[in-house]
Amino acid sequence: MRISVLWQGLLVSVLLMPVLLPVQAASAMAMVQVHFDDASGELKRISGDLGPAQTPEMLRTTIDKYRALFLDPEALTGLRFTRLSFVDNTEIYQFQQTYEGLEVFGSSLIVSVSNGRLKTLINDLRPNLQLDTRPGIEREEAERVARAALHSQKEQARTRLVVYARSEELAILAYAVAFDRSTVLVDARSARIIGVEPQFSSPA
């Protein structure tokens, strides 16, 4: 009698399995909220219980599980960890976007982790970048242009080559010439000033 009851239980479990699994999957998906930009269709934010993130490797693996949601999944390639901060019991990680080894100025992926689980992903990456990364002017010329714009001849400058892609226009190769209070972005081909950004912070 015990054997027949056991087999009957197994049979019921097998028969119900195809029904239970979709219900469980739907329940899990209901815990994840995904937001896209109305105009571009680009992923903006994912929130919920997104997966394990006890170590940096696990965090990257979990992020990669959502790559199909990105307009340009290749933008995730070459992400560079730049910052870790804490808010209450939540860890905030920032990953800097890069293109052919160069920083994409102001473009990053920000995630929050709580109790070893990825909770939020905020996407500010620039998709479908295409540009020549060979500068047309020297670093020294970019610094001269930046100093003239700020009327700062004595202050020490920290200069690096970056990709500037904040506007809807094509990405621009630029020199980011950083002073204590601001960063001047100079077109690395024409030497024109693209913009001035306050409070420069150097990526790690």
pLDDT in tens for each of the 204 residues of the chain?
433 333 333 333 332 333 333 433 444 455 899 999 999 899 999 999 999 999 888 999 999 999 999 999 999 999 999 989 999 889 999 999 999 999 999 899 999 999 999 999 999 999 999 999 999 999 999 999 999 999 887 889 999 999 999 766 689 999 999 998 899 999 999 999 999 998 645 444
Strands (E), the chain: 33-36, 43-52, 80-87, 90-99, 102-114, 117-123, 158-164, 172-178, 182-187, 193-198
Domain span at 157: 139-197
Q: For residue 25, is it within any domain? A: no
| 49-65 pLDDT tens trace | 999 999 888 999 999 99
Q: For residue 54, is it within any domain? A: yes
CATH number at residue 158: 3.10.450
Res 23: pLDDT:
34
- Is 87 in the same domain as 149? no
Q: Which residues contact 150 (CB under 8 A, 6 or more apart)?
A: 179, 182, 184, 196
- Is 53 in the same domain as 80? yes
Name the pTM for this structure: 0.77
Of the candidates 88, 123, 158, which is a domain's last residue?
A: 123
Look at the chain and report how many structural domains it folds into. Answer: 2
Tokens 């420069």 -> residue: 200
